[in-house]
Amino acid sequence: MRSIKPLIDDTVNRIPMKPGSPEKYDYQYKRNGTANIFVAVDINGGKIDITVTDRRTKSDFAHYIKHLVDNAFPEAKKLRIIMDNLNTHTYLSILETFEFKEAIRLISKVMFYYTPKHASWLNMAEIEINVMDVQCT
């Protein structure tokens, strides 16, 4: 079985709690890498799709859209996707990743709506990620 290394490590040893004193730890940490979480929330159907990738490239985004169209919501005529303005979240990512015919098929099945740049917290997927964060710590 593969050993899973945490994404962050402490840079200073924690001081354990003792009677009358809580655990003490430094706010600085060392990054051991990154991960990306794609989240799709079907607000009408109550379905949530979550995919974790090592990166968040244009290709990763395009493959996630393909997954949504072909696997997560294959019965949908059109997926209306509300998301933030990350530079990889574009139709161009799909065009650059797939053969033209496949890219056009995928693009015809989705409609992108972008949250305001300073309000991505309105995105329901971000709320779901926050719920996972709270539940997993």
Top pLDDT among 133 and 67 is at 67
CA within 13 Å, CB half, 105: 12
The CA angle 99-101-103, to the nearest 5 degrees, is 65
Class of the CATH-defined domain 8-136: alpha beta
Put simply, whether the predicted model's pTM sits higher than 0.75 gets the answer no
Q: Which residues pair with 82 in a beta bridge?
A: 113
Residue 42: phi and psi, rounded to 5, are -90, 100
Calpha distance 100→21 (Å, rounded): 63
Q: How confident is the model at residue 24 (pLDDT cuts 50, 70, 90)?
A: confident
Residues 6+ apart with CB under 8 A from 23: 14, 15, 16, 17
Comparing 50 with 93, the larger pLDDT belongs to: 93
pLDDT band at 130 (very low <50, low <70, confident <90, very high): confident
**Domain ranges, ordered by start, for the chain:** 8-136
In whole angstroms, give the CA distance from residue 66 to residue 102: 9
Write the pLDDT tens digit of every residue in 25-65.
777 777 777 788 898 888 888 888 999 898 889 999 999 99
Q: What pLDDT score was predicted for residue 88?
A: 94
Per-residue confidence (pLDDT) for residue 4, from 0 to 100:
63
Say which residue the tokens 């593969």 belong to.
2
